[in-house]
A and B are shown apart, each in its own frame.
Chain A
Amino acid sequence: LAKTTQPISMDSYEGQEVNITCSHNNIATNDYITWYQQFPSQGPRFIIQGYKTKVTNEVASLFIPADRKSSTLSLPRVSLSDTAVYYCLVRSGNTPLVFGKGTRLSVIA
Chain B
Amino acid sequence: DAGVIQSPRHEVTEMGQEVTLRCKPISGHDYLFWYRQTMMRGLELLIYFNNNVPIDDSGMPEDRFSAKMPNASFSTLKIQPSEPRDSAVYFCASSSLGLGEQFFGPGTRLTVL
**A residues whose Cβ falls under 8 Å from a Cβ of B:** 34, 41-46, 49, 87, 91, 93-102
Q: Are A43 and B105 neighbours in the complex by a CB distance under 8 Å? A: yes
Interface check B14, CB cutoff 8 A: no
Please give me the residue from chain B that is nearest to A97 by CB atom.
B102
A41 to B6, CA, bound (A): 13
| Chain A residues whose C-beta falls within 8 Å of the C-beta of B100 in the assembled complex | 49
A69 to B42, CA, bound (A): 24
A104 to chain B, nearest CB (A): 12
A77 to chain B, nearest CB (A): 25
Q: Are B106 and A93 neighbours in the complex by a CB distance under 8 Å? A: no
A92 to B35, CA, bound (A): 19
Please give me the residue from chain A that is nearest to B43 by CB atom.
A99
Q: Are B93 and A43 neighbours in the complex by a CB distance under 8 Å? A: yes
| Chain B residues whose C-beta falls within 8 Å of the C-beta of A44 in the assembled complex | 43, 91, 102, 104
Q: Are A42 and B107 neighbours in the complex by a CB distance under 8 Å? A: yes
| Chain B residues whose C-beta falls within 8 Å of the C-beta of A102 in the assembled complex | 42
| Chain B residues whose C-beta falls within 8 Å of the C-beta of A87 in the assembled complex | 43
Q: Are A43 and B91 neighbours in the complex by a CB distance under 8 Å? A: yes
Q: Are B42 and A94 neighbours in the complex by a CB distance under 8 Å? A: no
| Chain A residues whose C-beta falls within 8 Å of the C-beta of B102 in the assembled complex | 44, 46, 97
| Chain B residues whose C-beta falls within 8 Å of the C-beta of A43 in the assembled complex | 4, 91, 93, 104-107
Q: Are B99 and A95 neighbours in the complex by a CB distance under 8 Å? A: yes
- Answer whether A45 and B43 are a contact pair too, CB < 8 Å, given A96-B33, A96-B99, A97-B99: no
| Chain B residues whose C-beta falls within 8 Å of the C-beta of A41 in the assembled complex | 107
The 10 tightest CB contacts between A and B, nearest first, are A43-B104, A99-B43, A46-B101, A43-B91, A101-B42, A44-B104, A96-B45, A43-B107, A96-B48, A96-B99
B39 to chain A, nearest CB (A): 10
Q: Are A49 and B105 neighbours in the complex by a CB distance under 8 Å? A: no
B78 to chain A, nearest CB (A): 20
Known: A49-B100, A96-B45, A99-B45. 10 other contacts (CB 8 A): A42-B104, A42-B106, A43-B106, A44-B43, A46-B103, A93-B99, A94-B98, A94-B99, A95-B99, A98-B45
